[in-house]
Amino acid sequence: MAETESRLDELKGFAEDALKTAMQAGAEWCDVSCGRTADTSVDVENGSIKSVDLTSNRAFVVRAFVGGAQGVSSATGFAAEDLAAGARDAVAMARAAQPDPDFRSLPEPAALEEVDGLFDERIVAMTPAEAVEMAVRNIEGAREVDGDVIISGGVSLDATESAFASSTGIRLDKRSTSMEAAFFCIVRRGDDSGSFYEFDMGRMFEDVQPEVCGRIATEQALRFLGARKAATKPMSMVLGPLASFSFLRSLASSTNAESIQRRRSFMVGRLDTTVASPLVSITDDGLIPRGIFSGRADGEGAARKRVTLFENGVFTAMLHNAYTAGKADAPNTGHGGRTGGIRPTNLAVSLGEITAEEIIADTEEGIYINMGSVTPDAASGDISASVDFGFKIENGKLAYPVINTMVSGDIFEFLGNIDAISSDYREEPGNKLPTIRIRNVQVSGSQ
Amino acid sequence: MAMADRKDVARALMDRAAALGVTFADLRVIRGESTRAQVQDERADRLAHDVSMGAGLRVLVDEAWGFAGTDEIRPAALEDALDKAVAMARASTDHVADKGSVATVKPIEAVERVEAKIDPRSVDIGEKMDLLLRLEKAALDDRGDRIVNSIVVYADGVGEELLVNTMGTCIVRETMRCAVSCLFVASDGKIFQRAGEAYANRAGFEVAKELDPEATTIRIARIADVQLGAKRPPAGNFPVVFHPSVTGLLMHEALGHNAEADAVWAGESILVGRLGDQIASDKVTVYDDPTYPHSYGSYQYDAEGVPGQKRVIIENGVLRNYLHSLETADKFGVSPNGAARAQGFLHRPIVRMSNTYMAPGKDPLEDIFSGIDRGVYLKDGSWGYVFVDKGQFVCHATQAQMIEHGKPGEPLRDVSVSGMMLETLMDVEAIADDFEMDKPGMCGKNGQGAPVNCGGPHVRVKRLVVGGV
């Protein structure tokens, strides 16, 4: 523990020194982050341990503003003197860039809500041999389902320590961990093949079941044998938990205030209007304990806020960083990236009253998508996507797996046609992933 | 300290690795520097500079691989990294069913340099910003208020890498790449359409300086504008003509990833056991070539010190070669062909493509469209992916046109198409005598990015599934 404190103190000292150097060099605003990351990963290929990798590095980012113009200097692998040079470099670039009158300020210090469960000493203490054992149990689990399964993937353990300092007086430090297992399994029967991907991830040891992904992926892969094209016609589309996860995250990303202010988003002019079915209510909550996207503060040191993005189908709020909040004279929601940009965190979706199984049973004809990226073009809102892992629904049942089949439409048609959200869900820490049905989606497959 | 001056320390480390009983070890010490400037809506208000330095050390011990990546390159730190890599390998020795190995190759001592007219580090940041502002202004002057958001970005990366291994190879590699990318969003007040493009080479600042606004930013802004009047593409199965950018994307995604020998060895690729088979129309010949002059995916030596070489993947429809690393070459009993690449010092070398393209055919361009009563012409390929086990691929084009009565007609919005790789290669009906290879980008695999390029001629395919409405 003393060693950890000493390393954090060193990072805090680096951040403080770089901040001081940048301000002396003429920065009007500045923030600095310094971090140290250590990762262990066990890669599996061809049903065998391929390699065990251990990586570690220190990195810093200095961001300086002059007249609203931004200069960023960053480094991976550095000596103390490099930080001072980096700080001066950031200021020189901010001076060289053109002033931006829309920049108002960096975030001010504020009380931060504590978020538990983002660091687990047990993950830090795990040995590479233990990670290898976890990977081996995934291989064994997969082979118990299908002796000839082709399995690849791996187990990874990550630990980060970082310090943050800004010219407005924010001083932060944190330690965080994450653990992930992810495996892709292929089963073959002659010329036919089925495949599937399964993962589990979390910030705390007990939130991850790192030894079962191989088995689950293989069980699912078997279901995809014998796939064929679906017919070309409009029908219902049911997004399973993993498919709804990517769809809803792309929807949350569209509430990015920068994209809307810059007029490059299909959400321009839609605030406070109905954009979706009344079933759709989504809150971004980066403060959920143990959440995979949780944290007390965003990349700029601003306090994270809970934001209701959609309520009963109405687009109610945008996600902001310091720049967009200043430009709009709106509260900063604390969704800023380290050097700009805006990202959603954990999403809480209002659940429905019937189960996923009941939704499928209630669908006469449709496409069920287990996993895949059914997401809109960020500007036009057009959707044209492949059904990578899906089934044809006939008479309320998953009839057969589909291949070489696509779905398409427009984001607002899709949102307006949502007619069911399940009451049950898959849970990834901080995120409940329900099943969603969308009526009248164009499917393209066979003639 | 220059990389050449670190050779003695690196060689001593390889001697130490050999003394520790490793079968094979290699060390890559890398220093890189990059600059990025962004102009958005007529203001150059974002500049960034990044420096990275570190080492990646890989060992093969008792047929198990271990790797350590570190940002410290002092001799003592490298010795520590070696010990860690050996410990990593030993952590898995009992569980390696597919034994690790490497092909034995003749050691090479060499220096790789990039032929650049203008070192980007010698160019003032102000000149880089002015260039971006000029490129953007030309497009905005041309399109007026129809363009509601514009972003033009300049990025360069210059680096030096020392590569040594226990076979005696010692190479100092210079890397240099320059890129300009642009994105224009057009709106009529109701709908929004965007178009973008990247211009990038393994070369110096001349990549940016020689750009003609008419052929770059103005062209892209006009595409975004035209797209406002475009119709939604139709749904179903249609004859399709690929623009060279789409042909290249398809060769990279659908074919190239399947031809990576690690996927073949693992039994994942649909090309397992197909060497020597007719897998495509006999009109089709496809190469992957890291020696293509100045191209974004080019290199002289790969990340294992093997000379990059032009590889024929398909010749007149017959599958001829896979892409190999030292390990896959040993397992397949062939000579390595220089296809191992690594993103940086925190990453192990893995099998990757470089510049992947279909060779031009003999048909005049106008003949490619003739005979199609109703089809889709896919232009400006933007992204794609493949599931190698099935060969199912997706290709996305940011603009398209209907083909009616043998001619390209009304514009269509962005659209994805899906197909099965082996069927599609057999369904190639005509290949034009033109050629373009201008689709530079970053290819992702196993969490690593690698600069690549792709291209080819216009190609007609009998039918594909079009994801329209």
Nearest CA-CA distance, residue B205 and chain A, Å: 19
Over residues B378-384, mean pLDDT = 91
B192 with B273, same domain? no
* B-chain residue closest to A232, CA distance: B236
Contact call for B98 and A136, based on CB within 8 A: no
Are B56 and B17 in contact by the 8 Å Cβ rule? The answer is no
Q: Does B193 sit within 8 Å of A379, measured CB to CB?
A: yes
- Contact check, Cβ <8 Å, B47/A68: no
Cα(B395)–Cα(B432) distance, rounded to whole angstroms? 20
- A265:B192 CB<8 A: yes
Instruction: Provide, rounded to the nearest whole percent, the portion of chain A with pLDDT above 70.
Output: 100
Structure confidence by residue, pLDDT tens digits, A284-337: 999 999 999 999 999 999 999 999 999 999 999 999 999 999 999 999 999 999
Q: With bands split at pLDDT 50, 70 and 90, how would you rate the model's confidence at A424?
A: very high
**Would you call A45 and B98 a contact, using CB atoms and an 8 Å cutoff?**
yes
CA distance A351 to A260: 28
Q: Is the pLDDT of residue A440 over 90?
A: yes
Q: What b/e sequence results for A84-116 when a residue is b if at least 16 CB atoms lie within 10 Å of its CB, and e otherwise?
A: bbbbbbbbbbbbbbbebeebebbbeeeebeebe
Beta-bridge partners for A188: A193
Question: Using N-to-C axis directions, what is the helix angle for B125-143 and A80-96, rounded to 10°?
Answer: 40
Find the range with the poorest average confidence among A110-114, B83-87, B380-384: B380-384
CA distance B361 to B49: 44
Residue A147: CB atoms within 10 A of its CB come to: 8
- Interface predicted TM-score (ipTM): 0.94
Cα torsion B443, B446, B448, B450: sign: negative
Which residues in chain B have their CB less than 8 angstroms from residue A51's CB? 65-67, 88-89, 92, 100, 348
Q: Is residue B44 part of a domain?
A: no
Residue A319 has which token pair? 């996600």
Binned at pLDDT 50, 70 and 90, residue B466 comes out as very high
Nearest residue in chain A measured CA to CA from B349: A51
Question: Which residues in chain B have Cβ-Cβ distances shorter than 8 Å to A59?
Answer: 71
pLDDT at A51: 97
- Confidence (pLDDT) at A367: 98
For A87, phi then psi, to 5°, come to: -65, -45
Q: Which residues pair with A203 in a beta bridge?
A: none
Residue A447 pLDDT > 90: no
Looking at every residue in chain B, the average pLDDT score rounds to 96
- A2 pLDDT above the threshold of 80: no
Domains of chain A as residue ranges with CATH: 2-222 (3.30.2290.10), 227-447 (no CATH)
Interface residue B440 vs chain A (CB under 8 A): no
- Identify whether residues B203 and B307 lie together within a single domain: no
Nearest CB neighbour to A52, from listed B91, B129, B236: B91
Q: Is residue A236 over pLDDT 80?
A: yes
pLDDT of residue A352: 97
Which candidate, B39, B190, B152, B141, places its Cα nearest to that of A263?
B190
pLDDT, tens digit, 9 for 90 and up, residues B327-353:
999 999 999 999 999 999 999 999 999
Residue B357 shares a structural domain with residue B378 = yes
User: Is B90 contained in some domain?
Assistant: yes
Backbone angles phi, psi at B363, to 5 degrees: -85, 135
Overall residue count recorded for chain B in this entry:
469
Residue B363 lies in a domain: yes
Band of residue B3 on the pLDDT scale cut at 50, 70, 90: confident
- What pLDDT is recorded for position A79? 84
Mapped onto helix, strand or coil, the DSSP state of residue B334 is coil
Q: For the residues of B123-173, what is the DSSP string, one character each?
A: S-HHHHHHHHHHHHHHHHHHHGGGEEEEEEEEEEEEEEEEEEETTS-EEEE
- pTM score: 0.96
Residue B39 bridge partners (DSSP): B44, B152
Tell me which amino acid residue B25 is: A
Q: Are residues B205 and B262 in the same domain?
A: no
- Strand, coil or helix: what is B267? coil
Contact B96 A49 (CB under 8 A): yes
Shortest Cα distance from B84 to chain A (angstroms)?
8
Total CB pairs under 8 A between chain A and B:
259
Indicate if B188 and B222 belong to the same structural domain: yes
pLDDT band for position B422 (cuts 50, 70, 90) = very high
For residues B254-275, give the mean pLDDT.
96
Token look-up 């892969």 returns: A221
What are the chain B neighbours of A135 within 8 Å (beta carbons)? 95
DSSP category for residue A231: B
Pick from B44, B416, B465: which is nearest to A404 by CB? B465
Q: What is the DSSP string of A290-309?
A: T-TT--SB-TTSPBP--EEE
The two structure tokens encoding residue A394: 């006939």
Residue B149 sits in the same domain as residue B250? no
B-chain CB neighbours of A55 within 8 Å are 67-70, 346
The pLDDT-based confidence of A199 (bands split at 50, 70, 90) is: very high
Q: Measured between CB atoms, which of A57, A90, A447 is closest to B236?
A: A447
CA–CA min distance A408, chain B (Å) = 6
Residues of A in contact with B92 (CB under 8 A): 42, 49, 51-52, 128, 132
Asked if residue B41 is part of any domain, the answer here is no
Q: Which of B397, B44, B36 is nearest to B196 (CA)?
A: B397
Q: Which DSSP string do the residues of A380-427 spell out, in sequence order?
A: T-EEEEE-SEEEEEETTEEEEEE-S-EEEEEHHHHHHTEEEEEEEEEE
The model's pLDDT over A8-62, given as tens digits with 9 standing for 90+, comes to 999 999 999 999 999 999 999 999 999 999 999 999 999 999 999 999 999 999 9
Structure tokens at B318: 């017959």
Give the CATH number of the domain where residue B13 resides.
3.30.2290.10
Number of helical (H) and strand (E) elements in chain A, helices listed first: 10, 18
Mean predicted confidence (pLDDT) in B141-151: 96
* Residue A5: predicted pLDDT: 83
Among A188, A263, A340, select the one facing B148 at the smallest CB separation.
A263
Asked if B119 reaches chain A (Cβ–Cβ under 8 Å), the answer is: no
Q: Which range marks the domain in which residue B336 is found?
A: 236-466
**Which of B72, B88, B154, B271 to substitute to test the interface with A, most A CBs within 10 Å?**
B88
CB contact under 8 A, B41 and A446: no
Over 90: is that where the pLDDT of B49 sits? yes
Region of A220 please: left (phi>0), alpha (psi -120 to 50) or beta.
Answer: alpha
Of B94, B112, B130, which marks where a domain is finished?
A: B112
Same structural domain for residues B241 and B315?
Answer: yes
Domain match, B310 and B457 both: yes
Residue B105 lies in a domain: yes
Note the pLDDT of residue B212: 97
Chain A touched by B420 (CB under 8 Å):
yes
Question: Do B268 and B140 share a structural domain?
Answer: no
Q: How does the average pLDDT of chain A come out, rounded?
A: 97
Last residue of a domain, one of B112, B133, B167: B112
In a domain, B231, yes or no: no
Domain membership flag for residue B310: yes
* Total number of domains in chain B: 3
Q: How far apart are CA B247 and CA B250, in angstroms?
A: 5
pLDDT at B314 over 90: yes
The answer to whether A382 faces chain B, any CB pair under 8 Å, is yes
Pull the structure tokens for residue B384. 């794609």
**What pLDDT, on the 0 to 100 scale, is given for residue B1?**
80
Hey, which residues does A105 pair with through a beta bridge?
none
Q: Is the pLDDT of residue A226 over 80?
A: yes
Say yes or no: B320 and B342 in one domain: yes
> Are B308 and B413 part of one and the same domain?
yes
Across A252-256, average pLDDT: 98
Q: How would residue A6 be classed by pLDDT, with cut points 50, 70 and 90?
A: confident
- Give the span between the Cα atoms of A399 and A322, in whole angstroms: 50
* The pLDDT value given to residue A247: 97
The fraction of chain B above a pLDDT of 90, given in percent, is: 96
What's the CA gap between A47 and A347, in Å, rounded?
35
A147 to chain B, any CB pair closer than 8 A? The answer is no
- Virtual CA dihedral for A410, A414, A415, A416, nearest 10 degrees? 100
The confidence band for A1, taking pLDDT boundaries of 50, 70 and 90, is low
- Nearest-neighbour CA in chain A from B232: distance (Å): 9
**Are B218 and B292 part of one and the same domain?**
no
Q: Is residue B441 part of a domain?
A: yes
- Could you give the CA distance from residue A26 to residue A64 in angstroms, rounded to a whole number? 9
Q: How far apart are CA B460 and CA B377, in angstroms?
A: 9
Cβ within 8 Å, pair A82-B51: yes
